Amino acid sequence: MYKVFVNDTPIIFTSCSQKENIFPVYNFKNIVFDEIILKLKSKELKGVVFYSTDLENDWKSFLSNMKLIPAAGGLVINPKKEVLFIFRNGVWDLPKGWIEKGETIETAAIREVEEECGISNLEMIKPLLTTYHIYFHKGVKLKQTYWYLMTSNYSEKLTPQLEEGITEVVFKNKTAIKAALENTYANIQLVYNTYLENSN
């Protein structure tokens, strides 16, 4: 199964024929993609399921028809197991950004976290997951973000990257994370849930 978000509205790609949720199901072979995107963008649909009999190939075909924008970011934990969050455009988020030409994904992930949070001593632990998010800027773009679990024992003052619209950077404990997840993006919830599933 793959998930792509249009704002916070999901497109679910699946090869499972059983209807598991309230969203309408479309056969991948018959979809008029632009029409569905418009309906999701206008919130006419709360989500859709694309049913596929050949999931891997259909997913590759979907990606090949999109303008892909690769990005990388990190879920950073400190020695107290608190998670590093940024506050941007009125929403709690995790640090991430575009991969620059000639950069490896891992290098980009660390650079973006350092730049956006004013942090150092980052150590890469492992890849977490890749998220997909459709946005609209000079056409339809698909942001593909590679997320990594990182640690840092940095204890100095954190500095938000103001020119990127970030106004706050803070390590949050479980209680504060719960509150932050009430005001975040669906993809960020996905990243955090993946971290929780892997940390047990």
Q: What is the DSSP string of 86-130?
A: EEETTEEE--EEEPPTT--HHHHHHHHHHHHHT---EEEEEEEEE
User: What is the pTM assigned to this prediction?
Assistant: 0.92
Single residue among 64, 98, 115 that ends a domain in this structure: 64
Compute the distance between CA of residue 25 and CA of residue 101 in angstroms, rounded to an integer: 38
Single residue among 19, 43, 64 that ends a domain in this structure: 64
Same-domain status, 87 and 30: no
85, containing H or E segment: strand 83-88
Same-domain status, 84 and 181: yes
Same-domain status, 44 and 97: no
Same-domain status, 184 and 109: yes
CATH number reported for the structural domain that contains residue 141 in this entry: 3.90.79.10
pLDDT given for residue 16 in this prediction: 86
The count of structural domains within the chain is 2
Residue at token pair 């940024």: 86
Same-domain status, 93 and 141: yes
Same-domain status, 92 and 138: yes
Single residue among 40, 64, 88 that ends a domain in this structure: 64
Same-domain status, 81 and 55: no
pLDDT given for residue 60 in this prediction: 94
pLDDT in single tens digits along all 200 residues of the chain: 999 999 889 999 999 877 767 899 999 998 888 889 888 988 898 999 999 999 999 999 999 889 999 999 999 999 999 999 999 999 999 999 999 999 999 999 999 999 999 999 999 999 999 999 999 888 889 999 999 999 999 999 999 999 999 999 999 999 999 999 999 999 999 999 999 998 76
Same-domain status, 156 and 181: yes
Compute the distance between CA of residue 154 and CA of residue 1 in angstroms, rounded to an integer: 37
Same-domain status, 86 and 132: yes
Compute the distance between CA of residue 200 and CA of residue 192 in angstroms, rounded to an integer: 13
Neighbours of 99 (CB within 10 A): 21
Beta pairing class for 48-51 and 25-27:
parallel
- φ/ψ of residue 158, rounded to 5: -85, 145
Tokens of 188: 């960020």
pLDDT given for residue 200 in this prediction: 62
Same-domain status, 99 and 22: no
Query: Buried b vs exposed e over 21-55: b needs ≥16 C-beta within 10 Å?
Result: eebeebebeeeeeeebbeebbeeebebbbbbbeeb
Answer whether 140's CB lies under 8 Å from 67's CB. Answer: yes
Same-domain status, 156 and 141: yes
Q: Which domain holds residue 23?
A: 2-64
Same-domain status, 99 and 78: yes
- CA quadruple 130, 132, 133, 138: dihedral sign: positive
pLDDT given for residue 37 in this prediction: 87
